[in-house]
Structures are given as C-alpha cells and as structure tokens.
Amino acid sequence: MVEVKTEEKEAKKEEGKEPAAVPEKGEDTGQQPAAGLLKNDRDFVIPGDKLVETIDYLPGKNCFREGDSIIAKKIGLVSVNGRVVSVIPLNEVYVAKAGDMVIGEITEIQSNGWVVNIDATVEAYMPLSGVREFIDTNKTELSRYYATGDVIYAKISMANHSTVHVSMDDSRARKFRSGRIIKFNPAKVPRLIGKQGSMISLIKGKTGCRISVGQNGVVWLEGENEDLAISAINLVKDESYIEGLTDRVSELLDKAAPAAKAEPSKPAESKPDKNKPAEKEEKV
Amino acid sequence: MKREDGRKPDEIRPITMKAGVVPNANGSALVSFGNTTAIAAVYGPKILHPRRIQLPDKAFLKTVYNMVPFSTKERCRPGPSRRSKEICLVTRQALEPAVFAEEFPKAGIEVYIDVIEANAGTRTVGINAASIALADAGVPMKGLVTSVAAGKIGNEYMLDLAGKEEEETACDLPIAYMPEQDKITLLQMDGDLTAQDAKKVMELAVKGCKLLYKKQREALENRWIPKVKK
C-alpha cells in the first residue's frame, strides 16, 4: 500500500513539472493513470464509469464502492486527493447542509413559524426560535416579521434526512428589501466565490455592487452596475471549468466598464470562507 | 432476408442522440431512431407535490410519457391513455434501479418524455432519452440505462423492429439494460416465442444496447467536454 502512495506522488510530481500538460480526455493523452487508478485526475466521467479497480483507494463524493471497484455516480471530473477518489459534479441540485448560508423565499406562514423555499430538494422551515426577537404569537402577527414573498438570507441551522430548518440567528442573515435575484448553478457556487472569496470580491470590487451568494445557487445583487455584474456571473457559470477564469472575468469587467469605479472598494474588509459564501454585508 | 429499409438484421435504425436540448430543465436529451423521436426533460430532485405521494425514505421518480398529437400520421388524441399509463409505469420501473433515490428523501425527480415523432419503438427511445437526461441533470446514478426492442421474423432474429416488421413479427421484445452493471431492468414480451428463441432475441437486444451505450456516452461528452476543456 505504501508503494501505491509513493507511485501516486511521483505521478503528481511529473504532472507538476510540465504545466503545459493540461489534462485532456484520457484517451487522447498518452498519460498513464497512477497505479490502481483507471482515470486521470480531471478526466470527464459519466455515471457508471469505473474509476478504481483495487481496494487501495477510498470513494469520496459522488462515487460509490461496488466490490473492489469505485464507480462514479454523476457526470463530472475525477479528482484524486491522496487515496481518496471523488467526482467534481458538473451539474447538480442543492442539497441542504447545516451551516450553509442560503437565499430563500417565504412561501407560507404557519402558527409558529415560516415555510421557506430554498430551491433545495425539500422545503425548509423557520421556527420562531430561528428569529432573534422574542415574538408573542398571541399578540403579533407573524407576517409583521416575515410575510409571504419576502426573500431572506438565512443560515441552515439543521439539516437531517428530510427536515431542514433555517434561522436568522447569524450576523450575515438579513431580509432583502430591494435588489435583484438571479439563479446560478449550485454545482458552480464554489467557483463563483473563488479561493478565499477571490472571485466574488473581484466582481464586487470592480462593479461596486453588493452581492450575496447563497450556497443553494441563488445570488442577490444590488448596485449601479448590476448588469455588468450579472454578465460576469454568467461568464463564471458558462466557463467555470476552463482554466484562467479569474483573468477572463477581470478582463470582461475592465473592458465593459472603464468608467466603472477604478478604485477597488476595499475587498480586504471581507473575510470570506470557502464554505461560507458571502461575507458580511455592509449595512445599507 | 432483406429488411424493409435495407438494414442488416442486427442493425438499429439511424441513431441521433443529443443532450441538453431543453434550456429550462435541469437535464434533457433528444433521441431518435429513424423516424421515432423523443425528447426527455428532467426536473429535480425537487419539492414534490401533492404531499401525499412523497416517500419518507427516498425520492419519488415521476415519469410522464406523452405522445404529442402530431406525432402520428393520424392525429392522436392528447392526454393520458391506457397505453401511455402503462408506458409511464414500465419506464419508471426501467429507470428506478439506476437512480440513487434514497439520497433525496421526500423529494421528487420528474422525468417528462415527449414523443414528437412516432414510428415504432417509442418506449425504448423514451427510456434512452430519459437516461441521458437524468445523467445530464446530475442525478446520482449507478449507470446509464439503454433500451432497444428485438423480435423474430421468419427464421431470423431482428433488432429494432420498425414499420411493417412490427406486424409481421412473431414477437416484439423490448428490453432496458444497464451495460455497466450487466443487468436487465425492463423485459416485456408481446407475442409468442419458444424459450430458446426468447433467449436468442434477448442476446441480440443486449448487443444492441451496448452499441447504444456508446452513443449515449458520446452525447454526454459532446455536451459537457467543450465546457470543461479548452
């Protein structure tokens, strides 16, 4: 087993040596996958494709084990990380995960909470305990806080099996009173945020828009250059898996709006996290 | 014996497969065998209504098979019929073993199959399209499902019966098959065959499915690889 590990490392080193060798379709390049692997890193796979035929690797996300082999569950790109083989999905729907910040719409008011549509596989529920204020349900209508049709930026406080609870008990959570909502592909949200929030702060900085990204693939934005920001976001959506994305987004923003603010509006202030989408919104 | 359209006995009609044809759907595909064309669109997994059909432990796979009125020579009556209900059911049963439905409790995966041109083999074309569309939508699956019919005319086993052949044949046997798993998920038989013949016909259909699998893969690659690689 140790052998396999070293061999794999060597293969990685080799890849590192020639940055020109952008991995292409497995069959086209003469590149041999590391021992035990049937696919190269970043190879395109469809459901049912065998990735590994030995017991030396572990199935990661979007893969499953059958006998000794590991098989892909979704269309995507192979990702080999040490001994873990996983598939980066190219298309998927959002599945709620505790701790995610999402954008959702209040669809129903019940006796002690709200039903929220967060574009996931099930409806989310916001109990009264999810709101910071104390609410006396005998005296006040719940719609005074959140009415149907309101759009909120909330945290998923619980997601188990088929029940999802959201809460406003987070410094980033808020209700949107104006601005625009666009739908994005949830599989590509990590690209839109970028490493350490680099992509989203680039768009924010160059367009001067306020943007909130929900992990569920819903994006809220407001500002003078909304259209420009949307076209940048669409570029991320269409070309998210081609290398040099940041440069192209930056180019697009510079070309389309030389008049737009030249001074980056202090992206340093934001402290984004890869898993947690947008940073603290400046109070309007 | 020569076939009506000059095909070899083990040849499928000209195949077209294309993924990503319906922009509003999560995943979609168009598949045609000769003059039979179906479009499949997949929505979800998403919130399922009405609530009483939600399953507590897994997603409900909702398949809707529909022949549009202009799909046949004579206008066909729109709306569900006894025949289309049966095909909805067998399509669902053919696809269910391939889908990891237990990952989405209470949710619904909606598969809409519209046959826009019908000339024999609509259910098999529909299953092929639905399987590509499900994969295109990013629904977790064990593998793709392929489907084709086969039969026996005279002494010959023939693949993908079309036109007059459907009337001449002793038997029409559509199957759905998962090539990666080597499993048959749908097996219907319309007519009479001896056990030996049935086995031969099934083998022929499985052979056809393996070819279809390559085409399905191509369709998905053509849709996604340009987006992934420069």
pLDDT of residue A259: 53
| Residue A135 and residue A142 in contact, taking contact as beta carbons nearer than 8 Å | yes
Structural Rg of chain B based on CA atoms: 17
Task: Tell me the β-bridge partners of B178.
Answer: B183
What's the rounded Cα separation, in Å, for the pair A104 and B108?
A: 19
Low-confidence ranges of chain B (pLDDT < 70): 1, 230
| Residue B8 belongs to some domain of the structure | no
pLDDT tens figures, B84-99: 999 999 999 999 999 9
Q: Which pTM value belongs to this model?
A: 0.86
User: What CATH code would you report for A180-269?
Assistant: 3.30.1370.10
Cβ–Cβ pairs < 8 A, chains A and B: 103
| pLDDT for res A1 | 36
Distance of alpha carbon B224 from alpha carbon A53, whole angstroms: 25
Indicate if A101-176 has the same CATH topology as A2-89: yes
**Segments of chain A with pLDDT less than 70:** 1-31, 257-284
Give the pLDDT score at A4.
Answer: 41
CB-based contacts of A250: which residues, under 8 Å, 6+ apart? A202, A206
Q: Position A126: which residue type?
A: M
Virtual CA dihedral for B213, B217, B223, B226, nearest 10 degrees?
A: -160
User: Do the Cβ atoms of A122 and B228 come within 8 Å?
Assistant: no
Q: Which of B227, B222, B136 is nearest to A245 (CA)?
A: B227
> In B, which residues are within 8 Å of A120 by CB distance?
47
Structural domain contains residue B1: no
Burial B127-151 (b: 16+ CB within 10 A, else e): bbbbbbbbbbbbbbbbbbbbbbbbb
Q: Taking CB atoms and an 8 Å cutoff, what residues of chain A touch B217?
A: 46
Other CB atoms within 10 Å distance of the CB of residue A204 = 23
Coil, strand or helix at A212: strand
Instruction: With respect to residue B207, please indicate whether it lies within any of the assigned structural domains.
Output: yes
A239 contact residues in B (CB cutoff 8 A): 227
User: Are B224 and A121 inside 8 Å of each other by CB?
Assistant: no
Tell whether the torsion through CA atoms of B210, B213, B218 and B219 is positive or negative.
positive
List the beta bridge partners of residue A63: A72
A281 CA: distance to closest CA in chain B (Å): 29
Beta strand A63-66 with A69-72 is antiparallel
Put simply, the answer to whether B228 touches A92 (Cβ < 8 Å) is no
Asked if A44 and B136 come within 8 Å (Cβ–Cβ), the reply is no
Question: Is B228 an 8 Å CB contact of chain A?
Answer: yes
- Asked whether residue B6 is assigned to any structural domain, the reply reads no
Q: Phi/psi of residue B134, each to 5°?
A: -65, -45
Assigned domain for B2 exists: no
Integer CA distances (angstroms), B207 to A234, B56, B177, in order: 43, 38, 10
Helix (H) or strand (E) holding B147: strand B146-153
Query: Which token pair is A271?
Result: 């402290």
Angle at A240 between CA A266 and CA A264, to 5 degrees: 15
Determine whether the interchain pair B103/A77 forms a contact, defined as Cβ–Cβ distance below 8 Å.
Answer: no
Residue B120 zone, left/alpha/beta (φ > 0; ψ -120 to 50; rest): left
Q: Is A238 on the interface with B (CB under 8 A)?
A: yes
CATH of domain A101-176: 2.40.50.140
- Domain containing B134 equals 15-220
Longest dimension (CA), chain A: 73
Sequence spans of domains, chain A: 2-89, 101-176, 180-269
Distance set, CA A186 to CA A97, A99, A107, A193 (Å)? 13, 16, 21, 11
Residue B5: inside a domain: no
For chain A positions 6-65, those within 8 Å of chain B (CB to CB) are 22, 24-25, 44, 46-50, 62, 64
Q: Do B135 and A47 touch (CB under 8 A)?
A: yes
Chain B: give the shortest CA distance to residue A264, in Å.
Answer: 30
Which residues 22-51 in chain B show a CB within 8 A of chain A?
Answer: 26-27, 44-47
Is B228 contained in some domain? Answer: no
CB-CB: which of B45, B104, B140 is closest to A62? B140
Q: Interior CA angle at A110 toward A101 and A144, to 5°?
A: 75
Q: How many structural domains are present in chain B? A: 1
- Its CATH architecture, for the domain A2-89, is Beta Barrel (2.40)
From the list A117, A162, A241, which residue is nearest B227 (CB)?
Answer: A241
Chain A residues touching residue B178 (CB < 8 angstroms)? 48
